[in-house]
Amino acid sequence: MEKKILRLHQRYSLYIVLAGFVSFILLGIVIYYKVGNMMVDQSKSNAMGLAVIAANEIDGDKFEKIESKQDDAYYEVLESITKYTDYNMLQYIYTMRLKGETVTFVVDADPDDPAEFGEEYEIVKAMEPAFHGQVSCDQKLIKDKWGSFFSAYAPIFNSEREVVGIVGCDIRTADIMNRLSRLRVVIITLITIFALISVVTLVMIARDMMLRDSLTEIFNENKLKDVAQRLKRNNKLKDYTGMLVNVKDFKYINRQIGFNKGDEILRRYANYLNRLLVRGEYVARTGNDNFLMLVKKGREDVILNVLSPLELSVEIENTKQLLRIYSRCGMYSIDENDSLSGVMNNCTLAVNSTRNVDSDDYAWYSESMSAQMMEEKAILSNYKQAIKDGEFKVFYQPKVNIDDKSLCGAEALVRWIKDGKMISPGQFIPILEREGKITELDFFVFEQVCKDIRKWLDEGLTPVRISSNFSKMHLKNPKLSEQVLEMAGRYNVSSDYIEVELTESSGYSDFNSLDKFVHDMGAAGIYTSIDDFGTGYSSLSMLKDIDVDVVKIDKSFFDNMGDDKQNGTNLVENVIRMIKDLDRIVICEGVETEKQVDFLKDTECNIVQGFLFDKPLPREQFEERLRAPQY
Ligand code: C2E
Ligand code: MG
Ligand code: MG
């Protein structure tokens, strides 16, 4: 709950500050006027007070001493009566008094003439019966040719409590306004200061929001960079280990539970990582399902121990399901000269090294990883030119029928020969594949195969069916079938001599395109094969649904026979039998020993490919094989 509020607060803090800002302004405006009015009231009551005091004091003997002339003496007397010294605001003080039974006015109004005395007389008169020992007065705003005045006055009573005079004063509103404007300057200054503070706060919050990941609300990479810079300045960055954590197979999790739930999982995962940290440690989402942590050295194991697998329950279609989240992590022990981007790079290299099939889920960065990365970079920047320069050569590895030991096919395998040295496909194919650059090379090889077959035919050599490897990346290309057929057509090569090897695909969308491609090829009479069966995601049930002609059983399948030979051979035998039952041709790859051949003879697999018969051969040597196809 608390976290939720925190999240809300983080998300809406901009609005909260805005609302606060607006309320303050409104409050300021209210105060501006309210205080203004209070000020006016205050001034008015001052005037009244003055009048009241004057009225009290004037009654009796002092009555006679008041002068109408408003000179210093007048003010002195007034002051002695009123104890009021702030005359600045008083525009005009007037005193009306009784002499004997006659009222004499200090001011020039005629007391006998209510018309001259104006409304004030009426007011005083009206107050008369209400007065019982208490002094009363009234005030009002008057506007005349002299400007606006607050006029305050009080009645003067004789000992019989009859009104015998009136004392009053006028206060020019302009004076009040002067005072007010001084107050307003103070208020405006306060508002301005607050506005400035608010703007600075807003900018800081906006900056903070920019430095947070919008999905998980933990830091983003930029913020972690700031943090790392600060740590480095304080010479503390070297006390940390960078841990780049990646959610394994998040793509599949997304596919399995949908993107919204996937987002939720990422949020909870980020939250979980955050909670693993102690004071002074940091985590940021650096993109997709990647999180970079700066963890104090020596605490790595603590984090690793609790990280994988993480069990989260999610509600899918109203039922709670337990999701196991596995993580992989690349670690780098930071030294004093590192920057965050260097840390990121090294952690990335380390985490990528865990992606290999039989690697652990966690790896520390090592120098060799950098060397490998440089090599990969070189491959990626050079391969295009290498194709043009003819550095890629196609080798052919024969496929042999073990019943009569004759050549019955071959697989085209690419070799990169650079400066006289051979680079094996294992060094560059996975890289090109990962970077999505493999398709061009595959077509280059396939074209070379078509050219060679054409050449052999033209020379009167009878070719065998040659299989070319096509990365499953091709399946994203809707024109793949068309392009394969076009290429074969260009060299006028019969479909009898062509086969396309594809590694089995794992995803459902790939399955559909694989199915379509296999179908298209079948319709054109071109064989298709599933390569490396028995590794990765291969499954027999999938074979039922895909109409491929050939299944190539991977070398590792035999290796996996392991110590328990009996069970292993039984497994291989059974698998081969089942594939045969599905009416597919089985080819066993990587056959290196006679023993393996003997074993395979007992099964129904009669085609093999392996070093026992031939390694992949350069074209010229393979042509020899074509001429003498018997082993
Ligand atoms: P693959 O398609 O499964 O090719 C068979 C690999 O097994 C070849 O490795 C071959 O030399 C090797 N091999 C064959 N018989 C034996 C044996 O008796 N013992 C051992 N230890 N190995 C044997 P290579 O040529 O290094 O190729 C490796 C992989 O690279 C290929 O596996 C294939 O997946 C890929 N590849 C090669 N050429 C191409 C290409 O043109 N396009 C694509 N996409 N992939 C290619
Ligand atoms: Mg192959
Ligand atoms: Mg293979």
Predicted confidence band of residue 334 (pLDDT cuts 50, 70, 90): very high
Query: Which atom of ligand 1 lies at the shortest distance from residue 446's CA?
Result: 41
- Coil, strand or helix: which one is 30? helix
% of residues, the chain, pLDDT over 90: 45
502 CA to centre of ligand 3 in angstroms: 9
The yes-or-no verdict on residue 129 having pLDDT over 50 is: no
What residues have CB less than 8 Å from 112, skipping those under 6 apart?
A: 103
DSSP states of 319-364: EEEEEEEPEEEEEEE--TT--HHHHHHHHHHHHHHTTSTT--SEEE
| H or E segment and range at residue 80 | helix 72-82
Domain with CATH 3.30.450.20 in the chain: 1-210
Q: Which residue ranges have their beta carbon within 6 Å of ligand 1?
A: 397, 413-414, 424-426, 429, 438, 442, 445, 469, 471, 501, 531-532, 555, 589-592, 609-611, 616
Residue 537's closest CA among 629, 472, 605, 492?
A: 472
Q: Considering all CA atoms of the chain, what is the largest pairwise distance in Å, rounded to the nearest integer?
A: 157
* Cβ atoms of 358 and 372 closer than 8 Å: no
CATH number belonging to domain 219-365: 3.30.70.270
Q: What letter represents residue 467's amino acid? A: S
Residue 367 is which amino acid?
E
Q: Which atom of ligand 1 is nearest to the CA of 612?
A: 18
pLDDT band at 110 (very low <50, low <70, confident <90, very high): very low
The fold of 1-210 is Beta-Lactamase (3.30.450)
Q: Which residues fall within 8 angstroms of residue 504, CB to CB, at 6 or more apart?
A: 530, 531, 532, 533, 536, 537, 538, 542
Q: What is the pLDDT of residue 47?
A: 47
Task: Report DSSP letters for 616-629, one per residue.
Answer: -EEHHHHHHHHHS-
Q: What angle do CA 457, 463, 455 make, to 5 degrees?
A: 35
pLDDT value of position 509? 61
Q: Is the pLDDT of residue 104 over 50?
A: no
- At 159-170, the pLDDT tens digits run 555 555 555 555
- Cβ-count burial of 626 within 10 angstroms (0-12 exposed, 13-18 middle, 19+ buried)? middle
CA-based nearest residue to 97, from 111, 84, 83: 111
For CATH 3.30.70.270, the residue range(s) in the chain are: 219-365
Give the amino acid at 68: S
Tens of pLDDT, residues 545-581: 889 999 999 888 777 554 455 666 777 888 888 899 9
- pLDDT score of 473: 87
| Rounded distance between C-alpha atoms, residue 382 and residue 437, angstroms | 12
> What's the rounded Cα separation, in Å, for the pair 407 and 630?
6
Inter-axis angle of helices 250-257 and 259-276, nearest 10: 130
The CATH code of domain 375-627 reads: 3.20.20.450
Query: What number is the average pLDDT over the span 591-600?
Result: 90
Provide the token pair at 502: 């594809």
Q: For a substitution probing ligand 1, which of 392, 416, 429, 600 has the most ligand atoms within 8 Å of its CB?
A: 429
502 Cα: distance to centroid of ligand 2 (angstroms): 7
> What are 42-57's pLDDT values in tens digits?
544 444 444 444 444 4
Ligand 1 binding pocket mutation candidate from 444, 469, 550 (most atoms within 8 A of CB): 469
In the chain, which residues fall in CATH 3.20.20.450? 375-627
Contact 24, 17 (CB under 8 A): no
Stated as kind and residue range, the H or E segment containing 313 is: strand 310-316
Taking only Cα atoms into account, the Rg of the chain, rounded to an integer number of angstroms, comes to 49
Mean pLDDT over the full length of the chain:
78
**Ramachandran angles phi, psi of 550, nearest 5°:** -125, 145
Tokens describing residue 5: 């509020």
Question: Would you state the structure tokens that stand for residue 473, as one six-digit string?
Answer: 């990346």
Whether the model pTM is above 0.75 = no
Q: What is the pLDDT of residues 305-316, one digit of tens each?
A: 888 889 988 888
Binned at pLDDT 50, 70 and 90, residue 108 comes out as: very low
Band (187; pLDDT cuts 50, 70, 90): confident
In 365-440, the DSSP E strands lie at 392-401, 406-418, 421-423
- Please choose, from the candidates 604, 554, 607, the residue with its C-alpha nearest in 3D space to the C-alpha of residue 579: 604
